[in-house]
Amino acid sequence: MSVSVDTPRRVDDFEVRKLRHPWRSVAAVIVGLAAVGVGWVFATNPNMDWPTVGAYLFAELTIRGLMVTLYLTVVSMLIGLVGGTVIAIMTLSHNPVLRAVATTYVTIFRGIPVLVQIIFWGFIGAFFPAVTIGVPFTDIVFFSSPTSALINSTTAAILALGLNEAAYASEIVRAGIQSVDSGQREASSALGMNRATTMQRIILPQAMRVVVPPMGNEVISLLKTSALVSVIAGNDLMTNLQQVYAQNYKVIPLLVVASVWYLIVTTLLSIGQSQLEKRFGRGVTSTLPSRVKRVSR
Residue 181 domain flag: yes
Cα(258)–Cα(237) distance, integer angstroms: 7
Residue 24 domain flag: no
Residue 4 domain flag: no
Strand pairing report for 130-134 and 141-146 = antiparallel
Residue 215 domain flag: yes
Residue 10 domain flag: no
Do 16 and 293 touch, CB atoms closer than 8 A? Answer: yes
Strand pairing report for 130-134 and 15-17 = unpaired
Residues in the chain with pLDDT < 50?
285-297
Q: How many domains does the chain have?
A: 1
CATH number, position 182: 1.10.3720.10
204 CB-near residues (< 8 Å, 6+ apart): 85, 177
pLDDT tens track for 6-49:
556 665 666 667 777 788 888 999 999 999 988 888 888 887 88
Cα(142)–Cα(134) distance, integer angstroms: 5
SS3 16: strand
Inter-helix orientation angle 251-280/50-57, to 10°: 50
Whole-Å CA distances, 11 to 6, 15, 16, 294, 297:
15, 9, 10, 14, 10
Residue 2 domain flag: no
Residue 33 domain flag: no
- What's this model's pTM, rounded to 2 decimal places? 0.80
pLDDT of 57: 92
Residue 185 domain flag: yes
pLDDT of 3: 53
pLDDT of 295: 41
Give the HSE-up count for residue 129: Cα atoms under 13 Å, Cβ half-sphere: 0
Angle at 59 between CA 37 and CA 267, to 5 degrees: 50
pLDDT tens track for 47-66:
788 888 889 999 999 999 99
pLDDT of 292: 41
Q: Is 295 left (phi over 0), alpha (psi -120 to 50) or beta?
A: beta
pLDDT of 285: 47
Domain that holds residue 65: 50-278
pLDDT of 201: 79
Residue 75 burial (10 A CB sphere; 0-12, 13-18, 19+): middle
